[in-house]
Amino acid sequence: MHLSTVLSLALAVSPLAVTARGSLGFALGARNNDKAGSCKSTTEYEADFEALKQTGATRVRTYAVVDDFYKENQCQVAAAILPAAKAKGFQVILGLSADTEEKYQSEKNALSSVLTSELASVVYALTVGSESLYRKVPACDLLPRIVDARTKFSSLVKRIGTVDSWNKFQDGTADPIITGNCDGQPPARGINFLYLLATPMNLRTLLIPLKFDDLQQAIGHIQDLAGLNTIEIMNGETGWPGDGGEDYGEAKAGTANEERFFKEGVCAALAWGVDVFYFEAFDESWKPKSKGDDGTFSDETHWGAFYASRTPKFSLTCS
């Protein structure tokens, strides 16, 4: 389950000192809400963006260049979404899967075939790997893929990094990613962008407990290791299941609670200057149950701020 709070910071800024209003973004799936989970076309992404415009959002996050959840029906995400983003004035944090060398090479080749300078203008950042360290991919396996991606794409994309849990950047697991140094070898060009999955929500309350101490420790560790290297940090994502979703302990699913969470939690975070990526944009009825951290399986089909029809479940503006 996507039960993370969000905090978006530049390393040079204390999380308690941010004053500018935050911006809202959404995690965006690659498949349509039919039984087959068919792939979205550019036209369908354009319809997604048109719906999201009413929230004031201008950024979305994806998870792969090619979505291969169904091996027999793989979605060419980058090829479809980037032209749509350009047409509708959105930016994309584009995921590039990298848990294995074979997958990384496949993703890199797919991106190389579609990423023109014109389309690269809408790529806010490229993230190599998504929770790879959390899934126990060694940092020194992931680092060469990030370095290779920077070598390959840095002339087109300014921000290239990775996505992982905040605690992997606090406990030293990600140190090679930050320093660009593995096994005593001379430092390579590591990340200059990091999408940090932050402290889990306390689900006994609808409000977001922004645990700044945990985040400051992780960010402080990154800053100490990064030295003069500038690393932009953006964090996400957070959400709440609507009607038809599953409860999680004392946290009760339901659209009324989702609305309260959005209004009292997300809107408050935005007012504090926190950039919020909401999980997720639209309900995804095609999804099978997902396996959580505790090994149990849970429903993820009702987490959208919008119904699958692209109709908002409630007002998505903050007064």
Instruction: Please list the active-site residues.
Output: 131, 237
List of residues 6+ apart from 306 with CB closer than 8 A? 51, 281, 282, 283, 312, 313
Spell out a b/e string for 41-54, using b for 16 or more CB atoms within 10 Å of the CB, else e. ebebbbebbebbee
Q: What CA–CA distance (Å, rounded) separates 220 from 217? A: 5
